[in-house]
Amino acid sequence: MQNWDNEFAGRLPLFEPLRTHAAMLTGVDWPDLPQLQRMIDRCGIVTGGGKPLRLVEQGANAGSLEDRYEARIYLRGELQIRERNWHDLFNLLAWGTFPRSKTALNARHYHALLEQHARGAPNRGATQDALTLFDEGGVIVLSKDAELLRDLREFKWKQLFWRRRECVKQRMRWFLFGHAMYEKSLAPFEGITARGVLFEVDDAWLALPVERQIDLADERLARYIADGARLQSTRDLTPVPILGIPGWWPHSEDERYYDNTDYFRPRRRPTARSAPPR
């Protein structure tokens, strides 16, 4: 990881949200735990349980509820991380980039874990599945054009990404959130599909610098996640074939690319249950 631009050359549109924090880690072969802790300390992240986020080495499988992965973050501020592991590094960078939303996700996870334990349920519930799916594979989609968002929810891929691609470039913004999406994007392949939360914005928002857009998107997403009526099922998330986004993948410059129905699949079920957040 000597240089951010060299490490991710040719893939910067996907990785743009992480640029600021990843740039703090350049000049080293791989950041060690103290270096990563210094990066996260600059963000001043405090968990829902009131503890500053602290990085610890990956431990053994938890026995008690308090030692579960999400509980350790919420109760003790302990985020487990493995050495030289891209998945965990991207998770940490997502914490730095979207601190409010990651904190809100962790709080929802923790309280869902408490409810599961109180019921004596052996398996995770639908809410936990939705939270995990977005945490791992989420993308934040923002647009001033309600029709573009409607095309996305209705799986009108070619109309959105090809026929209206200039409108997409001008009126939509896409910020990868899920750390598993970033890991997969190191070696992109057709089939990578994120799960989106969609927001409407205005012209003033679109005119802001990208760093400010990300900050406001994080603030808005955190409120959305904290609302217990949201993300109750994976059906509340909109599938997004991210390599179809104009400018994110060389093949998307060819109209025929969008005829691949194995990737750009037609809708086979109703759209997300929840009304689009405003």
Average pLDDT by consecutive 10-residue portion of the chain (278 residues)? 53 82 80 92 94 90 83 95 94 97 97 85 86 98 97 97 97 97 92 97 96 97 96 96 94 96 85 51
**What was the pLDDT predicted at 63?**
73
- Inside any domain, residue 275: no
- Nearest-angstrom CA–CA distance, 102 and 95: 6
- Nearest-angstrom CA–CA distance, 171 and 162: 14
Classify the phi-psi angles of 126: left when phi > 0, otherwise alpha if psi is within -120 to 50, otherwise beta.
Answer: alpha
- Inside any domain, residue 267: no
Geometric angle at alpha carbon 81, from 188 and 136, rounded to 5°: 40
Q: Which residues span the domain enclosing 159?
A: 132-259
- CA–chain centroid gap for 126, Å, is 19
Q: What 8-state DSSP symbol labels residue 52?
A: B
The total number of structural domains that make up the chain: 2
159 lies in the same domain as 205 = yes
- What are 189-220's pLDDT values in tens digits? 989 999 999 999 999 999 999 999 999 999 99
Identity of the residue numbered 4: W
| Cα dihedral 253, 141, 264, 276 in deg (nearest 10) | -140
110 lies in the same domain as 167 = no
Domain end: 108, 130, 152, which one? Answer: 130
**What was the pLDDT predicted at 67?**
87
- Inside any domain, residue 50: yes
Domain end: 62, 96, 130, which one? Answer: 130
Non-local CB neighbours of 150 within 8 Å, separated by 6+ positions: none
- Inside any domain, residue 274: no
- Nearest-angstrom CA–CA distance, 91 and 223: 20
- Nearest-angstrom CA–CA distance, 136 and 177: 8
Domain end: 103, 130, 157, which one? Answer: 130
**What was the pLDDT predicted at 104?**
97
Identity of the residue numbered 208: L
Where do we find the tokens 């991710």? Answer: 8
99 lies in the same domain as 175 = no
94 lies in the same domain as 192 = no
| Cα dihedral 128, 130, 134, 135 in deg (nearest 10) | 10
97 lies in the same domain as 160 = no
Element (H, E) at 56: strand 54-57
Please count the CA atoms within 13 angstroms of the CA of 181 that sit on its side-chain side: 30
Query: 3-state DSSP call for residue 151?
Result: helix
191 lies in the same domain as 101 = no
- Inside any domain, residue 24: yes
Identity of the residue numbered 151: D
Please count the CA atoms within 13 angstroms of the CA of 99 that sit on its side-chain side: 14
Beta strands in 84-234 (DSSP E): 138-143, 172-176, 194-200
**What was the pLDDT predicted at 123?**
76
